[in-house]
Amino acid sequence: MLFRQLFDSISSTYTYLIASRKGGEALIIDPVLEKTDHYIRLLDQLELRLVKVIDTHIHADHISGIAELRDRTKCVTLMGEHAPADVVSMHVKDNEKVKIEGIELTALYTPGHTDDSYSFLMQERVFTGDTLLIRGTGRTDFQNGSPYDQYHSLFDRLLKLPEETFIHPAHDYKGDLVSTIGEERKFNPRLQVTSAEEYAQIMNNLILDNPKMMDVAVPTNKKLGMSLDQQKKFNGLSVAEVKKMINNKDCCLIDLREDTEIERQGSIEGSIKVSFNKLPDYLHKTRKDISKTKLVFYCAVGERSALAVQLCQSYSLTNINHLIGGIKKWQE
Ligand SMILES: [Fe+2]
């Protein structure tokens, strides 16, 4: 496995790049916008194809690199389901799997630092975002944070993991790189409490300045999704326009979502399933057969389908459209 821990010294953020092999698919967790060139260079050097990028929560201290990476590498952006609706192209629920080639992560809903905080468990490693830090925990005084929720996320979820599990946090301000569940249980001063009340008392008595970037970072990070207007520019069609094409039996509908999303959200009748990840292969194999077909892509919120249209252009396919706003707009 390839595992790289990358650091942004301005916001003290750790970003993780993971892949199962050189030349394969890759995943990035908590990228920082200003480091995008660095990530892309590293992906190129390791011959990796970035397919998913995750934010553990809406960050307040830096602008996330997920949108820039999406636009430059055509990857799927992903957060937990409690993240604002239009930030990412794919949401996952508590306990749902996040898969790329040879790698599987389990999403754990661990609110408290913010109400949209998720951790991601990968075998003997857990990416804890700002929920559990090395010898610390993420503050709980803004973005709907709650010390009580965090107590339960810590004591009922993360600390229940095997004690040799490695902890990979989203930040460290003292130069520590990695810890373990057992080590934190023993030495993290915030975890030496016997009740949620006691924990809340500690957290509510921290007197902390707001992060310097907060007023810029939070609103920017909530708007990283592709707007409906932007989606329209990539041969976007409205629900009414797609319905008309279906009624006239005038198109081939392609659903780009993954099985878990289709199970949860349902799909449009008559569509065929080609997950976004597999689209390059699909286009490569079927290019000749589909060159005269009118393809209409759709996904969860319209981002992956907009990227799919762009991808098709590199295969010189015309007659390609996509549904603006995805299945979400369709069901509305
Ligand atoms: Fe944070």
Q: Could you tell me where the beta strands, DSSP code E, fall in 34-124?
A: 49-54, 76-80, 90-92, 97-100, 103-109, 118-122
Note the pLDDT of residue 289. Answer: 80
140 CA from centroid of ligand 1 (Å):
9
In one-letter notation, the amino acid at residue 192 is Q
Q: How far apart are CA 25 and CA 99, in angstroms?
A: 10
Using pLDDT thresholds of 50, 70 and 90, give the confidence band for residue 315: confident
For residue 122, report the distance from its CA to the centre of ligand 1, in Å.
Answer: 21
pLDDT at site 287: 80
The pLDDT value recorded for residue 150 is: 98
Distance of CA 15 from the midpoint of ligand 1 (Å)? 13
What's the confidence (pLDDT) of residue 317?
86
Is the model's pLDDT at 85 over the cut of 80? Answer: no
Residue 130 CA to ligand 1 center (angstroms) comes to 5
Place of tokens 């976007």: 236
Q: Say what percent of the chain tops pLDDT 90.
A: 91
Average pLDDT of span 219-231 = 96
User: How many whole angstroms from its chain centre is CA 39?
Assistant: 16
CA distance linking residue 202 with residue 296, whole number of Å: 54
pLDDT, one tens digit per residue, over 17-48 is 999 999 999 999 999 999 999 999 999 999 99
Cβ(110)–Cβ(117) below 8 Å: yes
At residue 296, the 3 state secondary structure works out as strand
Mean pLDDT in the chain? 96
Per-residue pLDDT tens for 96-138?
999 999 999 999 999 999 999 999 999 999 999 999 999 999 9
CA 222 – ligand 1 centroid, Å? 13
Question: How many A from CA of 80 to the centre of ligand 1?
Answer: 14
What's the gap in Å between 331 CA and the centre of ligand 1? 33
CA of 121 to the centre of ligand 1 (A): 18
State pTM to two decimals.
0.96
- Residue 138 alpha carbon to ligand 1 centre in Å: 7
pLDDT at 316: 84
pLDDT of residue 114: 98
pLDDT at 198: 98
Q: Give the pLDDT confidence of 148-186 residue by residue, as tens digits.
A: 999 999 999 999 999 999 999 999 999 999 999 999 999
Residues 212-231: what's their mean pLDDT? 95
Residues in CB range of 20: below 8 A, 6 or more apart: 1, 2, 100, 101, 102, 103
**pLDDT bucket at 202, cuts 50 / 70 / 90:** very high
